[in-house]
Structure 1
Amino acid sequence: MNKIQNQARPVFPFTAIIGQEEMKLALVLNMIDPKIGGVMIMGDRGTGKSTTIRAIADLLPEIEVVSDDLFNSHLYDYDLMSDFVKQQIQNQVNLTTHSIKVPMVDLPLGATEDRLCGTIDIEKALNEGIKSFEPGLLAKANRGILYVDEVNLLDDHLVDILLDSAASGWNTVEREGISIRHPARFVLVGSGNPEEGELRPQLLDRFGMHAEIRTVKDPYLRVKIVEQRTNFDHDPYSCIDEFRNKQKDLKESIIVAQKKLSSIVIDYDLKVKISQICAILNVDGLRGDIVTNRAAKAFAAYQNKDEVDVYDIKKVITLCLRHRLRKDPLDTIDSGNKVDQVVSEIL
């Protein structure tokens, strides 16, 4: 069955994507450490944002989930279990598991709150005394990726729900005094075109990283990208075969980095320097400091190091801070360049 499904929709290989290094790095680091807090990808139309996001989901190793559970529950990790699974474990019920591809859930712009959060069947609850829950997109996205295209056009109310779930890792649905909650740990990926409207600063701040992508200007590179895409559309399977080894290598390095992450250390002096940069740039709150520390560790793990060095910080800090700076309407300098200037002075 899976084979037929996979054949129905071949996915463009992640390693075949040319350019857009900033976006690719931000996505890989979030796969290594989902606690970085997701990625906001802003850029021109037709620059491969959706293609890249779908490609990273296809690249990830499969996850083990409890069978007959609506929330992709983990068998051993308490934070990733639904209350139903916890109860089963307490009652010493033998649970079976199976492997699935990492869930990749699209949130359509016209989605309602019920579609996002799920609904409680009040009639069943009152008549039969059973808590009957129809899961929403947040339940499907647990332990996976939740992708919102044109996030700057999404209803503010839905964005608030999304960000609350992403921050707490739980989704709670309450109706008529009946309450159900379930784990909702996902990497939140938003994309948008700045011409169609800016995001509120407090929403931007909740995304761990912010990647900016531009249309490629080099004509030779543009031809290469067009040819690559044309070849894939003409014969997707030979294109997938061509990149099979590169895909395998990247998948392995992500798995190694995930295992290594908890042992990576970051020197106290470097932590002070990160906070010094955040203070000079006048970054509100401490989220910038926390995310930069996390991202630097994830990048060091990805490079197969044991300790974070200055290079790792320089590589990730612009991604972590550029969207947290206070916007001065009279400022002509790009926020990314502003971060770079301060970083080169301090580091």
Structure 2
Amino acid sequence: MTELMLPSPEGGTAPFTPTGPRAETTALSPARTRVAYAAAHVVADPTAVNAPGEPARLDWDATLAFRHHLWDQGLGVADAMDTAQRGMGLDWPATAELIRRSGAEAAGRGAALACGVGTDQPGPSRRSLESVVQAYVEQLDTVQDAGAAPVLMASRALAAVAQAPDDYTKVYASLLERAERPVILHWLGEAFDPALAGYWGYRDPAEAIEPVAELIADHAASVEGIKVSLLDADLEVRLRRLLPEGVRLYTGDDFHYPELIQGDEHGHSDALLGVFAAIAPVAGRALAALDGGDTARYRELMDATVPLARHLFSAPTFYYKTGITFLAWLNGHQKGFHMVGGLHSARSLPHLAQILRLADRAGALNDPDLAMERMGSLLRVSGVDR
């Protein structure tokens, strides 16, 4: 197999040849003992402008094919969320079309689909709690009409206008009363979006654990679960143990997911993870092993992916979407390495090269020869001597 001279994190280049196991991609049944969603990215149309500030133009065939790939690996799809570049290039008109198209694809195969409900549509700025609610409701209707499970995403507009914890309670209580089916709440930490610092009205997320649990308990019939992306396993477990019977904790912790999904004597987390889009074949087989009671095999598979996940989600964490898209390109899920909003430029060449190395070790490369050919083409256009 061809050897490449890859840029190194320390500077310079070093030789690389894949030696890890090739990803298995045969179809799997959905996991039985855990609910698992992979948060999917979107594929930009390489012939469209897709520059910063421009409307998003998608390659719809590749975007929807990637969702079928995730379903084929036994995972549900979480769509129109931060992995799909909400607030970072994917505007509301494109988001609404994505929700409708993904909803039709999911319905056609009876597959699990959850979609993000936010407040990012164009129009007057969200300067009051009622305007935030109205924006949420418009998107909630779009998701419900598409037949998807709604995910009430954390809102930058709400974070900007809320003056106290009670303001969050009022907004969410209003939305939960209007929902036609139980929803998934979404707690996205500051590392993923600095504009969400102090969400729920508390600067320290630890102070918000009990109030969030109380909000859920007060509306338990309307809450299917809560996705927690704080990158703090202890806080997640603390909240998980406070949830009412039947309400799920969906881990969004892309650092500690193996142990959180495995759980302990008090329970476990389910999963709604961006990293699962990058490691879908491995994650699907790990969950199948867990279904069969083989925790050793589950941990062997999942633990091997953690170095890759920690690199993909390294600071600044909100640029993790670039790595997810890059790996999708290496694995043949899209024709080019392009992103809406020009976000493919958000990570350095050494960072991308390290993704290739770690994906190989994790067994997350579908076709190592293709990955090497595509990496080689990027090195050439970047002026790196192979």
Q: TM-score, normalised by structure 2?
A: 0.29
Q: TM-score, normalised by structure 1?
A: 0.31
**Whose helix proportion is higher, 1 or 2?**
1
Larger radius of gyration: 1
